[in-house]
Structures are given as structure tokens and as C-alpha cells.
Chains A and B, each alone.
Chain A
Amino acid sequence: MGLNYYQIKKNILRARKLVIKATNIAGSGHPGGSFSMAEILGCLFYKYLKFDPNNPQWEDRDRLVLSKGHAAPGLFSNMAVAGYFPESELETLRKFGSRLQGHPDLKCPGVEFCGGSLGTGLSYSVGIALAAKINSKDHHVYTIIGDGESDEGQIWEAAMTAAKYKVDNLTAFLDRNFIQQDSYTEQIMPLDEKLEGDDLSEMWKDASRWKTGDKWRSFGWNVIEIDGHRIEQIDAAIAKANATKGIPTMIISRTVKGKSIEHMEDNPQWHGKAPDSDVVPIINHELDSQFMIAPSIIAGDMANLENEVKRCVSGRSDYIHLDVMDGQFVPTKTFDHNKIKELRPLTIIPFDSHLMINEPVKHVRDYIDAGSDIITVHAEVTDESSFGEIHDLLKQNQIGVGFAINPDTELPEWSYKFLPSLDQLIVMSVVPGKSGQKYIEETHVKITRLNSILKENNFSGYIEADGGVNLENIGSIFADGARVFVGGGAIVGQQDVRIAIRDFRNEVLKSRRRILLDKAHELGGTDLVNKWIGLHVVGEKQEQIKKIAQEAGYI
């Protein structure tokens, strides 16, 4: 089974938008903590949790306990996306007569725990886990606790109890976002180390200062530490936890409060505050503007691809882009599924396999088995029937479905019917076959043209730009609508992959900020531009955005 990366990602996006909508309409609520755990909930709801929205009390369901109950909008949004109730019900959040109370409540079928009073969800989960043991049931209990609520002594009472009774059917996540109501956790009550000064980023730099994992280990738990926004890391951690017997698991997930929205990120003000209506469209635009960097390893040393993968991993790439060429569809030959299989154990970062091969329908199974997470096949060598077969097979195996068109190829009309469920569309901006070519400028116009077709046909996937992407053009390609960027020479060809990826990200960020400023200006003129800029209070963002706004003549 693949990671189901794109399906999870798309659902997380939907849920995040619902959180914004619901808290805006309610006029209060907790978006910050809903966003820090968004990817964790996404992996649980759309991959691991066994549940039946039509029968919420199904005895064998897995239990999800949200101990940090103030993040209720995050839970409710995912429940809506998962089909427990219509998304429109989120509009009743926190209102009189609603099932969607300010904090999770059994009034809403499917909610397992009345959260709100902090520090108790883990004890409750121990109770549920013990009941399952008594009944010899194999359902699992997943619990999300906050770092702020870890100040509560009862968290540690529960920790000891879980270890004593060996509840290996309990997996807990610590949403380690470093922020509680008053301020940074490491100022209020450190779990790692007391933070001197105001710069939270100091805490991230030095892993030797992180003590939280040691605390849980010393309480007798199996501890896994991950980046709580990386789907593949959450996925791997859950799989590992589920396979661990005789001991409960704590997945310490380093997260960012308000993740995905720059002005909310790491900002204690967004612990419990609703976004204003005039800013909501800008926020939604920003949510639609998340992006991924996918270095292509063939731009490196073909004789040592293992090392190229390792460089991408340490460079913190989002995907590993694997250009499979058969010497027939394209003149060059690179490697096939056997190589991918060899590389797979090196990392859990999603493998983005781009099949530039003839008759992909005959071979796609091999690429699934080799461990791909996303598989893209070309329009030039598929038709409605063969692509349909590929599409279904990939979906069944939780593999992202990609479709690619060469520079001279228009999106075939037969493919329109697949657009709503298509995950990734690669718009080649060089003629495939070799690395190091220049970006074909006509691609800008092509993507713009494509956008209207994609919109008309309810495409909810991601456009991947592949070929000649570099620091100079990535901003404009992003502005065109691309969200995944394959980097060959411009990343893998560089001495330091990590710096190259960071620079890529910064360029996209700059472009994104400009687009969001355009949006603010279009919607509310200088006033809204100034208001939006003013929301960015953490770090140097405000000054940087101001500069862009000045260059644009907005302020």
C-alpha cells in the first residue's frame, strides 16, 4: 500500500478551510491548535482509523480521543470531511442548539470524549484501552494531547498507569507546538528547557535541548519523535506504534501552531481567536498555495543514486522525484522499478515516480510494488481505457495518480473525466529525455490555458512543474498555478542540496506573498493590505512583506 499522500493532503486542506470558515462564523474558537494537529488528524482519519460514519457507535471502531479539546474545530472539520455530518453543519459551531459545542462533546455522535478540561484525555484513553483488553477486542485508541496541557499532573499519572497495564493498544500524539495560551510553553512551563528571551526558533536548533522524549521514555513508553506536519513521518510512526507490543507509544510530533498560514504560524495570539471576515479569502488563498519541492535524482551522479537520495533526505525535500526512462518513449534510458526497489529502504520520503516509458499500463504494477507513493504516466502513451485501468489500480493501492503531458501535447479531452480524482498533473516544460535543459517559456501560457480547463472539470490535484525550473523562474511558475516543483540541476546539481531547497522555498514564498498582497489589494485596497501585513507579528515576516508591498506600490 502506498502512502495515500494526496488523498490525505487534499482532505487536510478541506478540513483546514472548514476550520477557518467555522471559527470565522462563530466569532471565536481555536484555529491555531487545530492547524498544528491537522496532518496528524489527516493521517488518522484517512488512513488508519477504522470507523463508520453511518454507525458511529460501531463496537469495533478505533477510538480517537482529543484530549486538547479546545482544538474542537479541527476535529469537527475532519469529521465532516469523513462523512459524519454535512460540512454545512460547521456553520453552527459554538451556537445555541448545535451538536458542535465549543469543546468536543458526546452530543455529536462519533465524538469519543468530552474534552475541554485539560489533562484528562489520556487517563480516559487508558480506561478505553483497558476495556478493549478485558473484552479481547483489537481496536486501537489514538489520543492527541497538547504540550500546554502536559503541565497537568494527571497526564503523568496516566502515563504511569498506561505503562503499568501495558496498554499497547494505546497510541498517543503529543502536539508539540511550543505554544500555550499565555505564551511559549518553554517560558510558561518548559517541557524541554526554559527559553530565555523571545526567539522560539532557538529551541529548534539544538536537539540536545529536547527533553520531552526522555521524559516519556523514562515513564516507560515507546517514544517516536517526528515532524508532525510530514505525512510520511506520521504514517511511519503510526505503523511502528501499531506494531509495538507490550508498551504504549507516544509520538512526539514537533508542530507549528497555526501551520499553513504565515501570520498564524508560531504566533501565540492565534491560540484562541477567530479570523476576521475580510481576511478569510486571503487565508483560503494561502491554504490553496501550499507547495512541495521534488528534487530529481537523475540530475546527480547516476552511478551513485543512493547517495543522491541521501542528499535529498538531508536537504529536507518533500518528495524524491524518480525519472524512469526506457530508451523508447524517450531516447535516454535511466533506471526501472528494480532500482526504485533498491532505493526504497533509504527513506520514507514519498517517491514520486515519473514513468517516461512505453505502454505504462503493462508495467505500472511493478512500480507500485517497488514502493512508489505517486505514479505519473504520460498522455502520449495512454488512452481512456489504459489510463482508466492505471487510475483505478493506483487508487486501490493508495498511490497518488499522476498524468503528464509533453510540451507539444495538449491535455486530451478523454482525460477530462479523470480530472476530479486526478492527484497530480505534470506539465513538462522541457522535452523529456535529458537533464539540464532550459525552461520552455511557452509553458507559462500553457498552464494559464490549462487552469481554466482544470477549474471547469473540478480538478483538485496539484500541478507539478518539471523541466528547467530554477531560482529565477520558480516564482512565476508558482504564480501560474504550479504547486510541485521538480528540481534537477538547480537542486541536485548544487553543492548543498539543503541550501538549494531552502532557496527554492524562499523564492516561492516571495511569490506567494506578492500574490496574497495582490489579493488583499483587490479585495480591500490599501486598508486591507495594511491590516493583513499587520497580522504578521512574529519574526521578520512583517518587514519582508512590507518591502514587497512597497515594491508593488500598495503602500
Chain B
Amino acid sequence: MNEPIMTDMRSEYSKALIQVGKDNPNVVVLGADTTDSLKTSSFGKEFPDRFFNVGIAEGNLVTVSAGLAASGKISFASTYAIFLPGRAVDQIRNNIAYPSPQGKKGLNVKLVVSHGGLSVGPDGGSHQQIEDIAIMRVIPNFRVFIPADTISVSKLTHLMATEYGPFYMRMARSKTPIVHLESQDFQIGKGITLRDGSDCTIAACGITVKMALDAAESLHQEGISCRVLDMFSIKPIDNEILEKAARETGCIVTTEEHNIFGGMGSAVAESVSESYPVPIKRIGAQDMFGESARDDEVPLLLEKHGITSFNMAKQVKEIRSKKL
């Protein structure tokens, strides 16, 4: 097997931002003392008048972004995941999601974060946000993405810049393998079938998509046909693709680096239980906080929570026996 190409989400986000900034003079970018890390500072070099660093003040970051959006700007506000939903949920709800100008839903602010989930690694549990999807999912008017690779990041950044309204996009800290083709089309609320299969479905997002593909490959060796879905659009979720998977494969394993409560797995369970209930197994942080792990130890940290392709394959095999 060839080593996958590893690329950096933040660099890709930065590049995409400059492009959307060139395409549309209304795009503004805001940061909170993490602009070098998020690589949004290059937008600032390109467009100094449209770039604002508000210091270590995330509530302020959110609300200033909202004020700009209220005056017709398209605000991209970025910092680490742990400091946005985890810290500024009131401002996100009351200053971005709630205010709805005539005929619109929410203000035109895009919250794009890095360092989502457990794979943050060495910084430890205090910095590993495993609750953000749950938080963002329950706020009306917000749409929530977790891209699996840099191709997704680039396309979704362009999509958010042209689609009105509040979005939350969570990127990973570490480099990620490419799983999509350059030609892949990304639509709001549309999951992507990366591998077809008939015995079971793995619904994945973010860095777990590649693991799910690996699991499906190993299951294939054992004669099990496993479908893999990239559920990058967690809200709105793709009810159609999920119902189809439930009908055609009869069971679903979900996988994410987020608490199993309230995350993508929960969203899938909610959807399927209303359309075509089948057994579901959720893989993710087991309602426990993360902890420090050197970069080369991150797989161990993920393994502690069962977030490995090995465990995915194992769960697929187990859940198949529970099919209705």
C-alpha cells in the first residue's frame, strides 16, 4: 500500500481564504492571537484593512465578527476549537445565530476552527475539544462541517463564502491524508459515499474517514462488504444517504473524535431512528476527557477511545450479528 499524501488543513484554509478574499471584497477575517497558527495572518498581509486581530478575547472575536456581518461583511473568525464553542457559546448563539435580518437566518459569520478533537495531542485534555459538535448542533440557524481532508477544506471554505449564513467548520491540528478526488463536489447536507458496500455502513467524519476506509479494506479481505460515508455535513445531516444505507446495509457504525454523546454519531442515530431504524454502534470519545500525547503517541490516545480502523472493523463484525 502506498503511503498516503499528508497535507495541512490550516495552510489550505489560508490559501482558500485569500482566494475568496480576492473574489469578494466583502470578505473579512478575524483572529484572536492565534492567527499565525491558524495561518490566517497571510490574509492579513494580503488585505490589511480587512483583517482584525482582537487579542485573546474570543467572546469579543465572535461579536465583532457579527457586527461586521450586520453591515454586509462576510466574516471568517478563526481560532482553536476549544476557545470558540467551548468558551463563547453565548456570543455564538445570541450575536450570530439569533439575529436574523428580514428574510434571513442568522448573520453571515463563518467560525472556522482548528485543533478539533483528541488528535490535538500534546496540549492535553484541556485543549482537546470533544464537545463542540454537540454545542453547535443544537444552535438553530448554524450549519456544521467537519472536513476529512484539505480538498474538503478548500471547497467548503469557498462554499461558505458564497452561501449566506452562520457556519461552523472544525479542522484537525495534524496533517491529514487526502481521501477525496479534486473533482469531488461538496454540497450542504449531502454526505459522500466513498466506498460502496452491502453488509454494513461506516459513517465517518474528519480524520476518522481515512480510518474507516482502511477498516473497509481490511473487512473486504475477510469477505465483508462495507460502505463508507463521509458525513462532513453534520448539520444539516443527509437523511437520504443514511436511510439508504440503513435499508441496504442493515447496520451502521459511526466514528468521530468527539464525545459519543451529541456528536455526529448521535445525529446519525437521530436520523435513522426516524427513517429506518437499524442497529447503530457509536465510536468516539467515551464520555471521557482526553489527555496529553506526543504526536507519535496520538494513535495510542485515539486507541484508548476505540478510534482505530481495527476497532471499526471489529465493531462492524459485532453489529452485523444484531441486524434486525
Contact residues of A with B, CB < 8 Å?
57, 105-107, 109, 112-114, 116-117, 119-120, 123-132, 134-135, 153-154, 157-158, 160-161, 165
Complex Cα distance, B101 from A158, in Å, reads 23
Residues on A with C-beta less than 8 A from B71 are 127-128, 131-132, 135
Q: How far is the CB of A134 from chain B (nearest CB, A)?
A: 6
Interface residue B31 (Cβ < 8 Å from any Cβ of A) = no
Task: Give which listed residue, A116, A158, A165, contacts B94 with CB less than 8 A.
Answer: A116
Residues on A with C-beta less than 8 A from B73 are 131, 134
| A124, B102: Cβ atoms closer than 8 Å | no
**Contact count A vs B, C-beta below 8 Å:** 100
Instruction: Decide yes or no: A124 and B55 within 8 Å by CB, A130-B64, A130-B67, A154-B63 being known contacts.
Output: no
Instruction: Decide yes or no: A120 and B69 within 8 Å by CB, A134-B49, A154-B63, A161-B55 being known contacts.
Output: no
| A120, B59: Cβ atoms closer than 8 Å | yes
| B64, A124: Cβ atoms closer than 8 Å | yes
Instruction: Decide yes or no: A126 and B67 within 8 Å by CB, A120-B95, A134-B50 being known contacts.
Output: yes
Interface residue B90 (Cβ < 8 Å from any Cβ of A) = yes
| A154, B67: Cβ atoms closer than 8 Å | no
| A161, B59: Cβ atoms closer than 8 Å | no
| B68, A161: Cβ atoms closer than 8 Å | no
Q: Which of A109, A127, A129: most chain B CB closer than 10 A?
A: A127
Residues on A with C-beta less than 8 A from B135 are none
Q: How far is the CB of A184 from chain B (nearest CB, A)?
A: 26
Residues on A with C-beta less than 8 A from B66 are 124, 127
Q: How far is the CB of B60 from chain A (nearest CB, A)?
A: 4
Instruction: Decide yes or no: A106 and B64 within 8 Å by CB, A131-B73, A157-B54, A165-B52 being known contacts.
Output: no
Instruction: Decide yes or no: A127 and B98 within 8 Å by CB, A117-B90, A134-B49, A158-B60 being known contacts.
Output: no
Across the interface, name the chain A residue whose C-beta is closest to B55.
A160
Chain A to chain B contacts (Cβ below 8 Å), 12 pairs: A109-B102, A114-B94, A120-B95, A123-B62, A126-B64, A126-B67, A127-B63, A127-B65, A127-B75, A128-B71, A160-B55, A161-B52
Residues 2-34 of chain B, each 1 if its beta carbon lies under 8 Å from chain A, else 0: 000000000000000000000000001000000
Residues 79-118 of chain B, each 1 if its beta carbon lies under 8 Å from chain A, else 0: 0000000000011001100111110000000000000000
Residues on B with C-beta less than 8 A from A126 are 64, 67
Across the interface, name the chain A residue whose C-beta is closest to B57.
A157
Instruction: Decide yes or no: A106 and B60 within 8 Å by CB, A125-B67, A130-B67 being known contacts.
Output: no
Complex Cα distance, B192 from A476, in Å, reads 85
Complex Cα distance, B49 from A124, in Å, reads 18
Within 8 A of A (CB), among B197-220: none
Q: How far is the CB of B61 from chain A (nearest CB, A)?
A: 8
Interface residue B156 (Cβ < 8 Å from any Cβ of A) = no
Residues on A with C-beta less than 8 A from B91 are 117, 120, 123, 154
Complex Cα distance, B60 from A119, in Å, reads 10
Complex Cα distance, B69 from A455, in Å, reads 50
Q: How far is the CB of A241 from chain B (nearest CB, A)?
A: 19
Contact residues of B with A, CB < 8 Å?
28, 49-50, 52, 54-55, 57, 59-60, 62-73, 75, 90-91, 94-95, 98-102
Nearest 6 Cβ contacts at the A-B interface: A127-B67, A131-B71, A123-B63, A157-B60, A157-B57, A124-B67
Q: Which of A57, A107, A116, A134: most chain B CB closer than 10 A?
A: A134
Main secondary structure of the interface of B (DSSP, over half): helix
Q: How far is the CB of A454 from chain B (nearest CB, A)?
A: 43
Residues on B with C-beta less than 8 A from A113 are 70, 99
Task: Give which listed residue, A57, A114, A131, contacts B99 with CB less than 8 A.
Answer: A114
Residues on B with C-beta less than 8 A from A154 are 57, 59-60, 63, 91
Residues on A with C-beta less than 8 A from B99 are 105-106, 113-114
Complex Cα distance, B59 from A131, in Å, reads 19
Task: Give which listed residue, A112, A116, A120, A157, contacts B70 with CB less than 8 A.
Answer: A112
Across the interface, name the chain A residue whose C-beta is closest to B56.
A157
Residues on A with C-beta less than 8 A from B54 are 157, 161
Across the interface, name the chain A residue whose C-beta is closest to B101.
A106
| B94, A131: Cβ atoms closer than 8 Å | no
Instruction: Decide yes or no: A157 and B55 within 8 Å by CB, A107-B100, A120-B63 being known contacts.
Output: yes
Complex Cα distance, B90 from A124, in Å, reads 14
Q: How far is the CB of A294 from chain B (nearest CB, A)?
A: 43
Q: How far is the CB of A136 from chain B (nearest CB, A)?
A: 10
Q: Which of A113, A124, A157: most chain B CB closer than 10 A?
A: A124
Task: Give which listed residue, A107, A157, A160, contacts B59 with CB less than 8 A.
Answer: A157
Residues on B with C-beta less than 8 A from A106 are 99-102
Complex Cα distance, B25 from A135, in Å, reads 10
Residues on B with C-beta less than 8 A from A112 are 70
Complex Cα distance, B35 from A409, in Å, reads 77
Q: How far is the CB of B49 from chain A (nearest CB, A)?
A: 6
Complex Cα distance, B98 from A117, in Å, reads 11
Across the interface, name the chain A residue whose C-beta is closest to B90.
A117
| B60, A123: Cβ atoms closer than 8 Å | yes
Complex Cα distance, B52 from A120, in Å, reads 17
Told that A130-B68, A160-B55 touch, could you supply 14 new A-B pairs with CB distance under 8 A? A106-B99, A117-B91, A119-B59, A120-B94, A123-B95, A124-B64, A124-B66, A126-B67, A127-B71, A131-B67, A134-B49, A157-B55, A157-B59, A158-B63
Q: How far is the CB of A444 from chain B (nearest CB, A)?
A: 56
Complex Cα distance, B28 from A131, in Å, reads 9
Residues on A with C-beta less than 8 A from B100 are 106-107
Residues on A with C-beta less than 8 A from B72 are 131
Complex Cα distance, B99 from A105, in Å, reads 7
Instruction: Decide yes or no: A161 and B67 within 8 Å by CB, A106-B101, A120-B94, A131-B72 being known contacts.
Output: no
Complex Cα distance, B106 from A399, in Å, reads 44
Complex Cα distance, B73 from A154, in Å, reads 22
Complex Cα distance, B68 from A335, in Å, reads 55
Task: Give which listed residue, B68, B101, B102, contacts A127 with CB less than 8 A.
Answer: B68
Complex Cα distance, B95 from A394, in Å, reads 44
